Amino acid sequence: MTGSRTINSFPMLPVFLQWWRERLSECLPHFLQTQQNETVFNVSADGSLALPLGELQVKRPAKRIRIWSRAPRIVLDLPAGSILKRRITLPDAARSNPVNAVHYDLDRLTPFQPESIVWSLDNTPQPAPTGFIAFDLLIASKKTFEAALEKLSQAGLSATHLRSSLRAGGGHFTLPLTAPQALRKPQRKFLYLLIAALALAPFAFQEIQLFRVNNALSSLDSGRAHAEALQHSILLTQLGPLAVLQEEKHNGIPLVTLQNLTDALPDDTYLTTLRLKGRQLSLEGQSKEAARLIVTLRQTGNFSDVSFSGPVVRSDNHQADLFSLSATATETPRQSASQAAP
């Protein structure tokens, strides 16, 4: 069985954070400030309490409901010199966990049996040689307060700290008793884990739902691609006739233009060259009376801007006129198409 011990965390960060919280709490309103309820019981030289059991019930710490309030402290005030202090030196390798190093070497560092004392290691480093670290070791014998602890337990109380003034006066040592807290430590860990699990549960469920939705969407990708292909085909089918109508309005229907031109030219006229670009016509050929072609094409109503693009000359055999003219087709596509259908 090993001696009871308290562990003051190391290095200095927790101490600094506690000090910083205390300073910040001083800026808060009184009802929000961190309250420390402390009840002190004097212990006689034989280790017993001076108060009878009835007075202990009256002196119980009052339960207060305060924001950020600390747990009440029950302090056993031991006779002067009951808590001993010793400066110990440890190798620098023990810096990360000096408490374990002291625990394994306790029988050498103190003249007491480990099971007969309680001890605490001050977390404030002291000056030490190079390659070593130094701390203050606080020790108290159980004989100085065992009877007081038993009496407190009968009253339903549990001491949290030991206090003893120096024999020379001018200060005191405080040694925390963390055995009850050590018993509750697994429960606190479980509580912290439970709170963390409850806090992370919504995010976990959200990730699960997102995973399911992504799987469902991936399974629908093939169907979606097929539907988009069908939609594109339908759109092209709907836009095709409209595009044809727009092209007919702009450039006309070549077959209708050729039919109108064939119907308008006299039988004694034939063409050697025909160029059709959009609605623009360019004609070259021979006709017995080329001058009447302009009037003939205009009278049909299917051509406009009819004019000769070059001089009219007689052929070599003097039987026809050689002409070159240009015109613009003006027929309405739908009407001309309906006329050309028969």
Per-residue pLDDT band at 14 (split at 50, 70, 90): low
3-state secondary structure of 278: coil
Look at residue 13 in the predicted model and tell me its pLDDT: 63
Q: What is the mean pLDDT of residues 34-62?
A: 70
Backbone angles phi, psi at 163, to 5 degrees: -135, 140
Q: What residue ranges define each of the domains in the chain, with the CATH number in brackets?
A: 35-181 (3.30.420), 254-329 (3.30.1360.100)
Q: What is the mean pLDDT of residues 140-154?
A: 86
* Residue pLDDT, tens place only, 178-206: 643 333 455 667 778 888 888 888 888 89
* Residue pLDDT, tens place only, 80-125: 888 888 888 888 888 888 888 888 888 888 888 888 888 888 766 6
Q: Which of 91, 96, 120 is nearest to 106 (CA)?
A: 120
Tell me which of 122 and 135 has the higher pLDDT: 135
Look at residue 32 in the predicted model and tell me its pLDDT: 56
* Residue pLDDT, tens place only, 275-328: 988 888 898 998 888 888 888 888 887 888 888 888 888 877 778 888 888 888
Location of structure tokens 């002196």:
59
* Residue pLDDT, tens place only, 206-249: 999 998 888 888 877 777 788 888 888 887 777 767 777 777 77
Cα 330 to Cα 297: distance, rounded to the nearest angstrom: 11
Q: What is the mean pLDDT of residues 248-254?
A: 77
Q: Determine whether 185 is exposed, middle or buried from the number of CB atoms within 10 Å of its CB (0-12, 13-18, 19+).
A: exposed
Per-residue pLDDT band at 57 (split at 50, 70, 90): low
Q: Is 334 a residue whose pLDDT tops 50?
A: no
Q: What is the mean pLDDT of residues 29-58?
A: 70
Q: Cis ω on the peptide bond leading into residue 11 (within 30° of 0)?
A: yes
Percent of the chain with pLDDT over 70: 78
For 23-70, give the DSSP string.
HHHTTS-GGGSPP--EEEEEB-TTS-BSS-HHHHHHTPPPP---TTPP
> Which residue(s) pair with 285 in the sheet?
271, 323
CB of 335 within 8 A of CB of 253? no
Look at residue 68 in the predicted model and tell me its pLDDT: 47
Task: Sort residue 77 into left (φ over 0), alpha (ψ -120 to 50) or beta.
Answer: beta
Q: Is 154 a residue whose pLDDT tops 60?
A: yes
CB of 138 within 8 A of CB of 175? yes
Cα 81 to Cα 164: distance, rounded to the nearest angstrom: 6
Tell me which of 35 and 304 has the higher pLDDT: 304
| Contact partners, residue 149, CB within 8 Å, separation at least 6 | 76, 159
Cα 301 to Cα 270: distance, rounded to the nearest angstrom: 21
Which of 18-27, 34-43, 64-73, 108-117 is the least confident region? 64-73
CB of 120 within 8 A of CB of 106? no
Cα 215 to Cα 282: distance, rounded to the nearest angstrom: 66
Mapping DSSP onto H, E and C, the string for 105-141 reads CHHHHCCCCHHHEEEEECCCCECCCCCEEEEEEEEEE
> Which residue(s) pair with 119 in the sheet?
5, 139
Cα 247 to Cα 214: distance, rounded to the nearest angstrom: 46
